[in-house]
Amino acid sequence: MRIDRVAACLGLLLSLGCERAPSPSVTPEPPAVAPPVNPPVPPTPAVAAPSAEASGPRAEISEPSFVLTAALTAGATPAAPASLAVELRGAGHFHVNEQYPVVLELDVRDGATEKPSLRRADAAEYTQAVARFTVPVTRAGARTVVLGRMRFAVCSAENCVPESRNFAVAIN
């Protein structure tokens, strides 16, 4: 039924348009040219500047929706633990989901940490701009490696995206 109505209206419009012919004395103006439209520029990922403390080994995962950085302070010894800073920031039009049950799991090879599993309450800072965890790591041998896995979510105005990423940072 709708198709019949649309077809009838279209036929009427076409027939009305065909009856009008420009008069020979009037010259039609050329159509206005629309200014060129620049293609949209993709948002640039927000990359956090590394903190002054995190001057040692680091791992960084940059995606269109987030940047995840894990960095250790340099010069850790068995007597003086290193500080592992894990930081998550939204990129482009994404932000950190403050309500998502974030989990940071750490496995320290040839070393140790006091708390191998951290949640949102353990974060040094947790806002829409940044989720930052700071964890002491002690060395037990010549080569300590911190293996980590972070589960989190980032959101845009349209939706939220749960993510899970693995990382590794070695203390030489």
58-171 CATH:
2.60.40.10
Alpha-carbon distances, residue 23 vs 17, 20, 50 (angstroms): 14, 9, 72
Residue 125 has pLDDT above 50, yes or no: yes
User: What pLDDT band is residue 38 in, cutting at 50, 70 and 90?
Assistant: very low
Residue 149 and residue 111: Cα distance in Å, rounded? 17
Find how far residue 147's CA is from the centre of its chain. Answer: 21
pTM beyond 0.95, yes or no: no
Question: What does residue 37 show for φ and ψ, rounded to 5 degrees?
Answer: -100, 125
For the chain, the domains span 58-171
Mean per-residue pLDDT over the chain, rounded = 76
Answer with the residue of higher pLDDT: 8 or 46: 8
Residue 34 has pLDDT above 80, yes or no: no
Answer with the residue of higher pLDDT: 78 or 1: 78
User: Between vectors from CA 40 to CA 159 and to CA 160, what angle results, nearest 5°?
Assistant: 10
